Amino acid sequence: MPWKETSVMSERSAFIKEAIRPGANFRHLCRQFGVSRKTGYKWLRRYRLYGVAGLTDRSRRPVHMPRKSSEAVEQAVLTIRSKHPAWGGRKIHARLKALGHSYVPSPSTITAVLHRHGCIAPEESQKHTPYQRFEMEQPNQLWQMDFKGYFHIGDQECHPLTILDDHSRYLLGLKACQNQQRETVKGYLTTVFRQYGLPESFLVDNGPPWGSVQGQRTYTRLNAWLFRLDIQVIHSRPYHPQTLGKDERLHRTLEAEVLSQNQFDDFHICQQGFDTWRRIYNDERPHEALVMDVPISYYRPSLREFPEQLPPIEYPSNNQIRKVGQLGRISFHSRQFRVGRAFAGLPVAIHPTLTDGVYDVFFCKQKIRTISFHQVQS
């Protein structure tokens, strides 16, 4: 039991005064002062060694701290932090190990070092709450693509375009774009495809140039181009940006580690900064979702090479084929049905469903519309 809080030193002094009397009942005395016999003997021993000064509290800090971070280790931590101001204890821990340091303190110790040197604001510690997301089993099964919110370079808008492999978190592309137009995206995608091959599918949002949802989904010419490359396009749920969770998280990291730390004078310098950071992100920056490994350790290029010429559009002989008109409509059994201007001038295949009078319309391997003779077509 503890000493009474009112006057610790006076209580201990009174205890010692009674304890050193000839014939004192030590057990009864400890009960009277509300302390254990172990505590009573401790203070009696200290009094005999050091006198009254021995009754004061001693520091609980260990005399020897063999694993205390040395100045050299702390400096290594602070050096990495200065290069990457958004990195926390776990990432710095993994990076120190990757660099071959003989002694690497635990992530919590590194975090304490950062706090001690004023590198982490208290409110920042409350912002990092992990949560579970889906993940593809292999690289190139699914890529995520999106524009980050624009920022200004001089009087122009810069729209960073990011392309991320879902399985490995490998950042395949980071482009400083001057707009969000189809040809800009297509041109950069061609560069990425030539370097890494083709993915099986893309996850994108519902804004330009990916498409839109207004009653029925509206596809774009960019969608049609990807379909011809045998790439499935998956659109996120409208008004649910968390569907593109990994890319959204990447955007926050880009903001913290690049955009908030730099001010670019022109697009060329901006792209150089993006290229440098993309290498760090893929090759050096530990990723918590990868057990603090780096994305390049999990990624390999696709075996599906980019064709310099689009493959012909072919359908099985038993399909009903229709050519899409310039207004995005097809004629089927004397009825006009809208399938989208993105496919104007191109052939589509019509498949019957299990419901009489209802058909699915495919462009290449992608279903783009369901048409029904039970509804009035606009």
Angle at 239 between CA 140 and CA 341, to 5 degrees: 70
What average pLDDT does the structure give for the chain?
83
Q: Give the class (CATH, top level) of 143-297.
A: alpha beta
At residue 135 the predicted structure's pLDDT band, cuts being 50, 70 and 90, is low
Write down the pTM of the prediction.
Answer: 0.65
For residue 127, name the pLDDT band (cuts at 50, 70, 90). very low
46-50, 91-95, 286-290: which has the minimum mean pLDDT?
46-50
Domain segments of the chain as ranges: 8-55, 71-125, 143-297, 320-372
Residue pLDDT, tens place only, 228-259? 999 999 887 644 444 557 878 888 999 999 99
Question: In this predicted model, which residue has the larger pLDDT, 67 or 18?
Answer: 18
Alpha-carbon distance of 223 to 369, in angstroms, equals: 14
**Better-scored residue on pLDDT, 167 or 77:** 167
- Checking if the pLDDT of 123 tops 70, the result is no
Residue 263: is its pLDDT beyond 60? yes
The mean per-residue pLDDT over the stretch 269-279 comes to 96
Residues 284-320: pLDDT tens digits?
A: 988 887 778 899 999 999 999 999 999 999 998 888 9
**pLDDT attached to residue 61:** 54
Query: How large is the average pLDDT for residues 344-371?
Result: 92
Residue with more model confidence, 37 or 242: 37
Backbone conformation region of residue 51, classed left if phi is above 0, alpha if psi is from -120 to 50, else beta: left
Distance CA 343, CA 327 (A): 9
Q: What is the mean pLDDT of residues 66-94?
A: 77
Predicted pLDDT of residue 241: 47
Percent pLDDT > 90 in the chain is: 44
More confident of the two residues 216 and 13:
13
In which band, very low, low, confident or very high, does the pLDDT at 41 lie, cut at 50, 70 and 90?
confident
pLDDT of residue 177: 96
